[in-house]
Amino acid sequence: MPILPASLQFAADGTPRSGTYDDVYYSADGGLGQARHVFLAGNGLPERWRGRERFVVLETGFGLGLNFLSTWAAWRDDPARARVLHFVSCELHPFRVEDLARLHARWPELAALAHELRANWPPLAGGMHRLHFEGGRVCLTLYFGDVREGLAQIEARADALFLDGFSPAKNPAMWSAKVFYLLARLAAPDATLATWSVAGEVREGLRRASFATEKVAGFGGKRQMLRGSLYPHPRRGVAAAEAPAVRHAVIIGAGAAGTAAAERLAARGWDIDIIDAADGPGRGASGNHAGVLRPQPSLDDNRLSRLTRAGALYGWRHIEKSLAAGGAIRAAACGVLHLARDAAQDGKMRAVVERLALPGELLRHVEADEASAIAGWPVLLGGWFFPGCGWVQPPSLCTANLAAHPHNVRARWSRPVAAIARRGERWHALAADGGTIAAAPVMILAAGVGLAAFAQAAPLPILSARGQVSVLPAAAASAPRAVVCGGGYVTPEVDGRRCAGASFDVGDPDPAPRARDQQANLAKLEELLPGYTAGLDSAALAARVGFRPVSLDRLPLAGAVPATVSAAPDASLATLPRHDGLYALSGFGARGLAWATLIGEMLAARIDGDPLPLERELAGAMDPGRFLLRHKRSCITDDEEK
């Protein structure tokens, strides 16, 4: 569903209000005072987070972010604060960043934090957005969409609940029985809640959902507010796992997937041993000179579409933060053009843009003349334009990931892993002679197409897709100036070269470059940019061959490895037995750059016990155990790419 931004209005006394719900965003007595009295003090903060490893706040209405900013400020000012603060919030009508700037100016004491929030404010696209502050020690996870859908998709274990929707009379959906039961599912056993509302239907709804509440002194002119906690009883739902006592992991594979997981775990304080048979990171399928990082939209906004969009947004934020911190990633958000092959497809692409109604900085349709100007080369048709996307040099991304936390990451190069074995409480990566290369309680198999070489993961259906990329000589600033793709793709000039391709041949083991694939790549290039290949001799061009891991449904594998080769007809992902501490990270296919960083964050969050950065539906769609369930797909399809 397209996201409709909040329309900024003001009440007669200057208090921000919503025209949609005919209600104010905070008390006329002061927003910051309300945040501190009702939501912080009402949940016993900052006292309750002191000495904790992590503390998770879950909020039902983000609004202008004042509760988040006041919580962040209180955490920052507390020397005994929890090591990590997670703040998870839902918002159906988020503000535009320029409106946030106007509103935040009212609280100069929060200016620095508010500026940082706005500098990281995501595009107003539906779904989850994860933002990191304070070097990762403050994490904001926003769900843009209906609160009932958001709470159903959030996977977290909340220590404090902020119920801050518009009044029950104005927006009853935010105070419905469904919302209260979902909050109970997400609440930790000792969770507390607070809200300014003391309406009878709110108190009764919370009671029915197993919350005990009491009225206490309210803020300003409001005589009372409500605070509460869960009744003592077994928790509903599945809580996030507790962080392992020993934060040490072995990762096999140092491509985009493995190094992303290493960086995300190391950012949480984990010690990482990363092992690869090559002599450095990004030498396998992640070894191309340049690759494309952009979403893959669809008319029905299916899982592939949503996952690539979320991955591209998070991936570019990661690159920008890494560059700001001195990381040596080679990348440029030069824009990506996806050109239509004919008029019929152009019409379908236009329909996708209209249906999704995404912000223009994410996706828009362009006509042939604008597409030609963007590319710097005449093209026959228009198509999609992704202004904030572009190219990335994968080996540089892998290298920067490992260099980001040098005290936590140990690399073991030129060390092929012949087998893995669980011995006591640790997984061992074994060399051909049976010796241990590295061992830890947690192991992540990010070995790409080599996943099936390990007996524990052999039942997982990963196929190998041979991809040949052609490397063309290129003059500085020569066309195309943006990435151009369609049936194939071509990048701008990078260090005197550009990449064009690529083949995608499942089950083809030939590692040598082939003349016919060079010719096919040039033919695709000619279709994209008519006249571009004149004078190019395919036989004189360099090429690179890589083997990309592909799953049966074209979605990644990211999660705990099943400890069985079959499942009962009524089995679910939650009931499948798993190898304790063993995880798979593979199946990225041709979208490794779009997926690696976000999925690395998702896997790290699951292992460490943090709230997930993705919807439960999308996390489940990537679970390696899905192929053991009754309704698995049996062959590769392109259904989700149409």
Query: Is domain 8-230 classified as CATH 3.40.50.300?
Result: no
Q: Would you call 173 helix, strand, or coil by DSSP?
A: helix
Domain with CATH 3.30.9.10 in the chain: 333-390+463-548
Query: Is domain 333-390+463-548 classified as CATH 3.30.9.10?
Result: yes
Mean pLDDT of the chain: 94
Note the pLDDT of residue 233.
Answer: 62
Give pLDDT tens digits for 148-196.
999 999 999 999 999 999 999 999 999 999 999 999 999 999 999 999 9
CA distance 619 to 311: 13
User: Residue 621 corresponds to which tokens in the numbers above?
Assistant: 């769609």
User: Residue 401 corresponds to which tokens in the numbers above?
Assistant: 């990931």
CA distances from 300 to 345, 346, 352, 365, 616 (A): 16, 17, 8, 17, 19
Note the pLDDT of residue 566.
Answer: 85
φ/ψ (deg, to 5) at 492: -65, 175
Report the CATH fold assignment for 248-284+396-461+552-641: FAD/NAD(P)-binding domain (3.50.50)
Strand-pairing partners, residue 137, are none
Note the pLDDT of residue 568.
Answer: 84
Among 30, 133, 49, 141, residue whose Cα is nearest residue 89 = 141
Average pLDDT for 272-298: 95
Which residue type is seen at 176? S
Give pLDDT tens digits for 230-264.
987 654 434 445 667 899 999 999 999 999 999 99
Give me the sign of the Cα torsion angle 469, 334, 339, 622.
Answer: positive
φ/ψ (deg, to 5) at 74: -65, -40
Q: Say what the pTM is.
A: 0.95
* Tally of residues, the chain: 642
User: Residue 161 corresponds to which tokens in the numbers above?
Assistant: 């609940």
Q: Which residue has the tokens 């304790």?
A: 580
CA distance 227 to 204: 13
Note the pLDDT of residue 243.
Answer: 67
The CB density around residue 328, as the number of other CB atoms within 10 Å, is 12
Give pLDDT tens digits for 76-89.
999 999 999 999 99
Q: Which residue has the tokens 């000039």?
A: 493
pLDDT of 473 higher than 80: yes
Angle in degrees, CA 228, 83, 574, rounded to 5: 65
Average pLDDT for 209-214: 96
pLDDT of 444 higher than 80: yes
CB-CB contact of 214 with 229 (8 Å) = no
Give me the percent of the chain exceeding a pLDDT of 70.
96
Note the pLDDT of residue 348.
Answer: 97
Instruction: Sheet containing 426-430: give its strands across.
Output: 419-423, 426-430, 436-440
Q: Where residue 631 falls among pLDDT bands split at 50, 70, 90?
A: low
Among 29, 28, 102, residue whose Cα is nearest residue 65 = 102
Give pLDDT tens digits for 331-385.
999 999 999 999 999 999 999 999 999 999 999 999 999 999 999 999 999 999 9
Among 370, 334, 314, residue whose Cα is nearest residue 490 = 334
Average pLDDT for 197-214: 96
Average pLDDT for 507-532: 96
φ/ψ (deg, to 5) at 478: -80, 160
Average pLDDT for 448-467: 94
φ/ψ (deg, to 5) at 386: -110, 90
Point out the least confidently predicted range of 37-51, 221-235, 274-288.
Answer: 221-235
Note the pLDDT of residue 267.
Answer: 97
CA distances from 230 to 181, 269, 541, 611 (A): 11, 32, 67, 20
CB-CB contact of 476 with 493 (8 Å) = yes
pLDDT of 641 higher than 60: no
Domain with CATH 3.50.50.60 in the chain: 248-284+396-461+552-641
pLDDT of 630 higher than 80: no
User: Residue 32 corresponds to which tokens in the numbers above?
Assistant: 């910051």
Instruction: Sheet containing 127-133: give its strands across.
Output: 127-133, 138-144, 84-91, 54-59, 158-163, 187-195, 224-230, 211-217
Note the pLDDT of residue 28.
Answer: 83
Note the pLDDT of residue 234.
Answer: 52
CA distance 537 to 110: 61
CA distance 52 to 468: 50
DSSP secondary structure string, 78-147? -TT--SEEEEEEEESSPPPHHHHHHHHTT-GGGHHHHHHHHHTPPPS-SEEEEEEEGGGTEEEEEEES-H
- CB-based burial of residue 431 (10 Å sphere; 0-12 exposed, 13-18 middle, 19+ buried)? middle
Note the pLDDT of residue 240.
Answer: 46
Beta pairing, strands 211-217 & 187-195: unpaired
CA distance 157 to 58: 9
Helix residue spans in 492-574 (DSSP H): 515-528
Domain with CATH 3.40.50.150 in the chain: 8-230
Helix residue spans in 122-220 (DSSP H): 147-153, 177-186, 200-208
Give me the sign of the Cα torsion angle 18, 24, 25, 28.
Answer: positive
Average pLDDT for 535-543: 93
DSSP secondary structure string, 391-448? EE-HHHHHHHHHHSSTTTEEEE-S----EEEEETTEEEEE-TTS-EEEEESEEEE--G
pLDDT of 519 higher than 60: yes
Point out the least confidently predicted range of 58-67, 122-131, 157-166, 232-241.
Answer: 232-241
Angle in degrees, CA 319, 395, 385, rounded to 5: 50
